[in-house]
Every structure is written in structure tokens, then in C-alpha cells.
Amino acid sequence: MAGPNRKQRRANDKRGRKSGDNLRILPARLNGQIAELSVLGGFANHVSANQTGLPTTIAGSLSSMVFAKCCAHARSIAAVSKQSSMFDHHAIMALARMIMEASTMIAYLHDPVDPVEWEFRYILLRLHDTVARIKLMRGFELPADDLKIGREKLRAELEAHPMFLKLAVDRQKRLASGEDMFAIGMRSVATKIMGWNDRQFNGVYTKRRSNDGQRALQLFRAVSLIHQFVAGRGTGGGGVERGGVDHHRTLLTLRRRPRPVLRC
């Protein structure tokens, strides 16, 4: 699952190297966890492939696509861990968070609810997707008139739905904005439908989300330090040689931060 890609295989052939020479040697504990993830992802992919072509529901077809996303992220974790020169725990955390989100969506789609509530949830999912597409088009300054028409139509369907009318006013406003995709909230899906421990989910998910933000902040700091180094000045006001910030030491600190063992 984490074998070398086509480009790496061609490079190996030219150098007369074996494919395994490119793989990073990981600590035994982490290597075992990656191996377990590979077996799990491979088995899941095999089961999914054997289900191709069978009749299913709308929820089943949607969850099938989300499931493929989970398998792709699991494959990426193995590849990044063993092959990429950019490997660190932040990259793994970002992928793990996406697997958490995707698996939560699969559980939500297969939650056994009555047809009326499913219709409500499906309208909400489509509204959220449409709003996200409009934001994307707006970011590139592209026209989205057809999407806006669709958004208003879906919003009208949502606001007229009996499930919507039972909600509190604040919740109605939130859902009508299209910002939420879960009718009952992601945390409720994770803890009530999937059975995850509430405190553990909050801690792990929040930790992964905060690390995504920290990585961007670290990159910004590193670039700032490089610019200051080139300009010959430190953040403390003095140049590097005059008692300012030791940029070499700081950059090495950023690069050599302790990397905790990932628990998949």
C-alpha cells in the first residue's frame, strides 16, 4: 500500500536500486501501526470493489464515494510516512482528521431515520454543497448565477420542511445559511451514532484541528526568519552577529521538533 510510485520506480531502475531502498525506516511501533492501517485499508478497498454495481440507495451511493476518500487518505498516510521527504506528524494529523470527518459522514448517511427526516437531511446536504461551491466561484471571481438560483430553491425547500419548522429560531437561521451539513451536529453523530467517547473525540479532533493551524503559523514564522536572516537583522533589533536572533538555531528547532508516535 505504501510502495514506490511510478516515477520512483523508474528512477530506481536507472540507478539499479531496489524499490525497498527508497522506503523510510520507521520506529517499530509506528511501523506496526502503519502496517495495520495498510491491511485495514486494503481489506476495505477489496470489499468496496466487490460491491460495485449492486443496487443501492442515494445514501449508499454518497457514502460509497466518501468511503473511497477514506481509503485514499489511509493510502496517503502510509505513503507520506515511508516515502515523502516532507514527513512529520502535522501531515499525518491532517490526513487523520479527514478520515475522522469522512467516517463520521458515512455513519450519518447510514443512520436509520424515517423517510421524512432523510429528505430533510438530504436537502441540507445539497444546500451546504451549493453554498460551498458559490464561495469557491466567488473566490476566483467567476459567475455563479445558476448556483445562486439553486441555493434559493433549496433554501425554500428546507424552510418549508416540517422538520425545519420544529427547530428553534437560532438553529433555523444557522441551517438556512447553508453553513452546516449535519442536521444534528458532527459531534452528536460521532458520539451518539458512532459511539465515540465524547471527551476523547473533543480532545483528539480539537488537537488535530489546532495542529493544522499551527503548521501554517510555523511556516509563516520560518519564512519571516529567512527574510530577516537575508536582510541581516534579528527580531530582537540587532543583527545576527550582534546578538540578535540565532536564525540557524531557530530554523533547526522548527525542523527538529519532537514527533510523537501516531496512534491510528
> Per residue in 155-188, is it b (16+ CB within 10 Å) or e — as a string?
bebbeebebbeebeeeeeeebbebebbbbeebee
Q: Report the pLDDT value the prediction gives residue 159, as an integer from 0 to 100.
A: 97
Question: Model pTM?
Answer: 0.69
The domain boundary, picked from 165, 184, 203, lies at 184
Would 128 be classed as within a structural domain?
yes
> Quick one: 176 and 221 in the same domain?
no
Q: Report the pLDDT value the prediction gives residue 82, as an integer from 0 to 100.
A: 81
Cell of 214: 499551527
Decide: 209 and 218 in contact? Cβ < 8 Å: no
- Tell me, letter by letter, the H, E, C secondary structure of 122-149: HHHHHHHHHHHHHHHHHHCCCCCHHHHH
Domain count, the chain: 3
Would 58 be classed as within a structural domain?
yes
Would 201 be classed as within a structural domain?
no
Q: Report the pLDDT value the prediction gives residue 238, as an integer from 0 to 100.
A: 40
Residues 9-63 pLDDT 10s: 666 666 555 555 567 777 888 888 888 888 888 888 888 888 888 899 999 999 9
> Quick one: 105 and 123 in the same domain?
no
Of 168 and 4, more confident: 168
Would 190 be classed as within a structural domain?
no
> Quick one: 1 and 106 in the same domain?
yes
Would 208 be classed as within a structural domain?
no
Cell of 253: 528547532
Q: Which domain holds residue 7?
A: 1-110
Alpha-carbon 127 to chain mean position = 21
Cell of 212: 493544522
Residue 216, CA atoms < 13 Å, CB-side half-sphere: 5
Would 263 be classed as within a structural domain?
no
Cell of 45: 478497498
